[in-house]
Every structure is written in structure tokens, then in C-alpha cells.
Structure 1
């Protein structure tokens, strides 16, 4: 789960990370009022969306008076901001964050991520702040400082000082840098984050180390431990399909293909998508319905997949371990009777009571295309999507 910049800054400030004073606004007039409250001579107005690259796309503007603030907000509110991270569809701007401008002497990049290979938290830092880490890695790889944290002892002060030295931080600012690193690490571990990124982390003209921007991403599976984090979710920034799936306890990721997938188990879902690609098609989604493939759950999955107008075939791939194939088959048949599905449906069952499950599908009277192996199911799904234009009509008539 992603959160907004202003939310990440509030969380990080609770762990001792210095952030500039700022305020949230939901209208141009409120933004101007927030600037008066903050005081100062110049302000930064930032569009709050779940994506980077806002500055290049016009989502971050420096303003010198209230008229400029209102004009900047008029250009943002209700618009779609398109960056290299949003894709061409962009993300809507419904709130802005107003901050007082600070005199910047030096910019740094600072990120905390989970390194899967070492199974450690990795700190990635660079003295080339203000750029995306991908750009830094490509243009100035030698500037990147990497350091992994031993989980048994956590981030030690000597390790934080070493990172600061490698970045070329002035000696008098080392304690502030150490405090920033320690605060970010504690926020990462205590809140079950998967990423903490400050870009840029700046040294100001009056010798302060401040997080000028901040991003945080959290492990969805750990949100039950942090209800205060769950409340920060902004559904307006999410794919509507993924939002609906999350509300129904389903794991869904929308893709750009034409073949919808309904699978139980994340690993099997990944294998199913790979096999569809191997067969010459493209998956329209990743959808893991979990271990309990009940008729109600399968129906929810079909409704979710069919809400994507690009779907032209549906592949159901279920391995019944804890479940039974006859129960799953009953669920598929009931779902097809309850949900409007006017595209070819391919079902592959494996596991407990597979013969009974296949019999239920065969006797259902519905034009379900059955398959015995995953490769066969993928090939039939691709073939039905590419060549068969009559199955959808047949399914409507059968129902």
C-alpha cells in the first residue's frame, strides 16, 4: 500500500526525521490560506498523487504570493497528472501540500528497501539527489552507497556515520544525518514498510538536514498490525479493479492483456500468466482467489474479471489441495449462472476429486472448455480468444 507524501512525512517526523513545515489543502483558496498560516516569502505547492516524477510533469510549483498559489492550484485540481510512473492514464489530483521554501545547499538521495537476495534491509544513498535512482544508477553508478543492516542488531550508529562519511556530509552535520538514518530505519521496521525513500534529502543554507520529499510503501499482509496505517489508504489513487478486489479479500493486479485469469495460489497464478504468454497470449490480470474457492468467492472473482472491458476470454486454473475439485466445479457452474459472462471460459482442474469435478462441468450444460494440463488450458484460452467468436453467444443462450 502506498501513501501520500504528506502522510509519509508525518510518520517519519514521529521517528525523528526533520521535515519542513507544511499543510494540506483541498482547494485553491485553502492553499492560499495555508500559505498565510505557514508564513514566509515563497512556498512550494505539490500535487499529492501516488507517483514520482511530479516536478517534471508540472505537479510541483514554486510560488511567491497568494495569487500564484491559487493559479498553480487551479492548474492542478481535478486534472490528471501524467508522469513516467503513472502511465498514460495518469492519476487524479484532489489535494495539494503547501510547504515553505527552504534554501538548498546540497541534495542527496536516501532509500530503504528489502533486499531479497541477502534477506536484509538495504540502505541505498547517493550524493546525486533530486534524480530518480534509476537515472543515478545509469549516469553515475559510482555515486551510489549501499549498506545492508544486520537484523539481529539493527542499524548501528557507526554504520550510519560510515554512510554519512561516504556521502561527503560535512562533519558538523553528521549527527543530524545519523538521526535521519536511524529514524528512517525505525520507521521501516516498526511499521512493516517495504520502502522508505527520501528524494531529495537536503542540506539547507542554515545547516539543517531535512527530508524535502518522502515516499513510503507498506506490506499489505502486515496492515492488520497497523490500523493507523490502513486508515491512510487513498482509493482514488488505486486501480478501481484492484481496490474492489482488496475490499473483497482477493489479490488482484490489473494488466493489459485480453485473457482474464482466475487462479488459487500466487505461485500458480504466476505460472498461469507465464504459460499464457508462452502460448502466444497476454494475461489481463493477476488474480489469486486464495485457498477457499467457494461458489460465492468464485462468483466475486468472475464479476471482478468481467469488469475489465478488455477481457475476451477467461481461464480458470484451480489446484485443489485443501479444497476438492467437485466443490470448485460447483462454484464455477454456479458463478456462470449468476454472473453475466459473455466470453469463452476455459477451466482446468487438478487435485482432489478431479474426476468428479470434470463430470460436474461436463453435465452443467454450459459451453465450458475443459483442459487437463496447464499448457493445454493456456493454448485453448489463446485459441478461443483469437479464433472463436461464437462461444460468447452460445453461453448467453445456454443461460
Structure 2
């Protein structure tokens, strides 16, 4: 679950991360009032959207006076902000964040992530933080430094010292940056965050360390441990597809391809989408069926795919086990197709618990499908159908 900047900063501040003074506004009047309440000479007016890249897209405006803050708010609120990370329609700006501008001596990049190779927390950092960081890191990955942490988040002091030195943190600011990093790690682990980014992490002329911008991604599968995020979870949904999916225990992200993907398990879902791309195809979505989803809930996810006229084929790749068995997914397909006028062809690959029964359901219910014996065979066939070479 993506957390907007203002909420990410609230969480980080609770654990001791220093953030600029500021607040959220939904109207021009609120924005001006926020600015007048701040003891600042300059202000930053920031569109609150979930996608990144807003700075380069005009979503962050510096303003010298409260009235200028109001003018910027008037331009941003209600507009659609298109960034490198949104689709062509962009995201509607419903909130802005008004904060005191911070004087900068050094600008760094810092991120907390879970290393997928070892499921260990890890820090990423760069001496070149700011709006252009992503483009610069893409062009030159060597600007990024890494530091692996213990599984419980414990930080080796000597290793952290070397990390800060490689980032070029001045000696006088190292204690402040050290404290900010420790607080960020605590916030991430205690809130089940998969990703926390502070960009820029500003070192002021007074050697303070301030999180000027922040984003956070929480683990959807851990939200049952955090009822305090229930309202945020509802607000974090970007479109009706994702809202319906979330209501039906599905992790779902829309993409721009023509191969609908039905998969149980996040790892299997990512691997399936990677294989589709490697085979020259384009997945239309990422899907992870949660273990608590019923066949009726899974059917709602399939219906979302069938409602997309751009989808040419469904690739179903399920591994039965635990709470989700293969026949549950097969029954879901039957429910969805019985309520849809579209007969999109299905490439069906099932393995594990009740796989044979699932294949019998697909055959007995006369669903428009063909079976595949392996992931590679399923992906190859789906890509062929989507590209018009299915005959």
C-alpha cells in the first residue's frame, strides 16, 4: 500500500525523524492559512499524489508569500498531474502539503528496502539526492551505495560510519544523519514497511538532518496488524479496479498490456509477469490472490479483466497449497464467465493441490481454455494468442 507524503512524514516524525513544519490543505483558503501559521520566509507547495516524479512534472512549487501559496494551490488542486510514473491520464490532486522551505547545505538520497535475495532490511543511499536522482541513478548506478542490516534491523556502527563516509556526510552532521537513519529503520520495521524513501534528505547549514520529502510502501499482507491504517488503505486506492480488488482480498495493479494475469502468490505473480515480458508479451495487470480470498472474490478480479476490451487472453497460473487450492480458482473462472458476455480465451496452468480437479472443472464447464503443462508453455502460448498468432 502506497502512503502519500504527508502521512509518511507523520509516521516518520512519530519515531523521531525531523521533518519541516507543515500541514495538509484541501482548499486555497486552507493552504494560505497553513502558510500564515508557519514561521517561514519561503514555502513549498506540494501536490499529494501516490506516483513519484511530481517535482519534474510541476507538482512542487516554491512560494515566497502566503498569497503566492494560495495561487499555487489554486493551480494544483483539482488538476491532473501526469508524471513519469502515472499513466497518460495522470492523478487528480485532491490535497496539497504546505511546508516551510528548508535551507540546504547538502542533499542526499536515503531509502530503506527489504532485500529480495535474502529478505533482509537494507539501506540505499547516494550523495546526489533531489529531483534528478532517479534519472541520474539509471544512467549511472554506481552513485548508489548500499548497507545491509541485521534481520531485526540492528545497525553495525562501524559499517554505518563507512556508509556515511561514502555518502560524503560532513563529520559535523554525522550524528544527526545517524539518528535520522536509526529512526527511519524503527519506523519501517514497526509499521511493516517494504520501502521508505527520503529524497532529499537535507543537511542544513546548522548540520541538522531533515526529511524534506518522503514516501512509504506498507506490506498489504500485514495490514491486519495495523487497524490504524484502515482509512489510509481506502484512500490509497488509485482507481476503481484497485478498489474492487482490495475489497475482494486481491492485490491488483493495472498495467498497459493485453494479457490478463490470474495468479496466486506475489512471487509467482512477479515471475509470471517477468516471463511474459521476456517472451515479448505485455501483461495487463499484476495479481496476487490472497490466501483468504474465496472463489466469489477471485471471480470479481477475473470480471475486472474481462471488462477490459484491450485484453486478448487470460493467463491463469496457479499453484495450489495452503489456503488457496486450484479448484477454487477454476470455480472463480466459471462464475466470472457465467456473468460476462466476453469469451476471452484462457491459457490454464495449474499445479499442486487439486490441480486435476481444477482441470476437470474447466473442461466440464466448457470454459474457452487450453491447458498448459508448465509455466513456460503457458506463457509462450498466451503471448502467441495475444499477438494474433494463436491459430
The TM-score, its normalising length taken from structure 2, stands at: 0.84
The number of residues matched between the two structures is 389
Matched residue SS, 2:3: coil
How far is the alpha carbon of 1:35 from its aligned partner? Answer: 0.8
Q: Does the CA-based 8 Å contact 2:344-2:368 persist in structure 1? A: no
Matched residue SS, 2:183: helix
1:262 is aligned to 262
1:340-375 Cα offsets, whole Å, 9 max, x none, are 4343344455566666655554444x4623325346
1:279-315 Cα offsets, whole Å, 9 max, x none, are 6643322334356885424422321212323223334
CA separation in 1, counterparts of 2:62 and 2:325? 61
1:100 is aligned to 100
5 Å-filtered alignment, 1:282-293, equals: 282-290=282-290
How far is the alpha carbon of 1:100 from its aligned partner? Answer: 1.4
Q: Which runs of 5+ in 1 are unaligned?
A: 390-399
CA separation in 2, counterparts of 1:378 and 1:367? 19
Matched residue SS, 2:53: coil
1:199 is aligned to 199
Q: Does the CA-based 8 Å contact 2:263-2:287 persist in structure 1? A: yes
How far is the alpha carbon of 1:210 from its aligned partner? Answer: 1.5
In the alignment, is residue 36 of structure 1 matched against residue 36 of structure 2? yes
2:369 is aligned to 369
1:205-234 Cα offsets, whole Å, 9 max, x none, are 344221111122222222222222343336
How far is the alpha carbon of 1:318 from its aligned partner? Answer: 4.4
Change in CA separation of 1:361 and 1:148 when aligned onto 2, cut-off 3 Å? closer
Q: Does the CA-based 8 Å contact 1:92-1:237 persist in structure 2? A: no
The TM-score, its normalising length taken from structure 1, stands at: 0.83
Change in CA separation of 1:201 and 1:307 when aligned onto 2, cut-off 3 Å? same
Larger Rg: 1
5 Å-filtered alignment, 1:1-399, equals: 1-137=1-137, 144-151=144-151, 154-233=154-233, 235=235, 238-266=238-266, 268-270=268-270, 272-273=272-273, 281-290=281-290, 295-320=295-320, 329-349=330-350, 358=359, 360-364=361-365, 366=366, 368-374=368-374, 378=379, 381=382, 385=386
Matched residue SS, 2:196: strand
Matched residue SS, 1:104: coil
Q: Does the CA-based 8 Å contact 1:3-1:234 persist in structure 2? A: no
How far is the alpha carbon of 1:40 from its aligned partner? Answer: 2.9
CA-atom RMSD in angstroms: 3.4
Q: Which runs of 5+ in 2 are unaligned?
A: none
Q: Does the CA-based 8 Å contact 2:234-2:243 persist in structure 1? A: no
CA separation in 1, counterparts of 2:329 and 2:118? 39
Q: Does the CA-based 8 Å contact 1:346-1:371 persist in structure 2? A: yes
Change in CA separation of 1:197 and 1:334 when aligned onto 2, cut-off 3 Å? closer
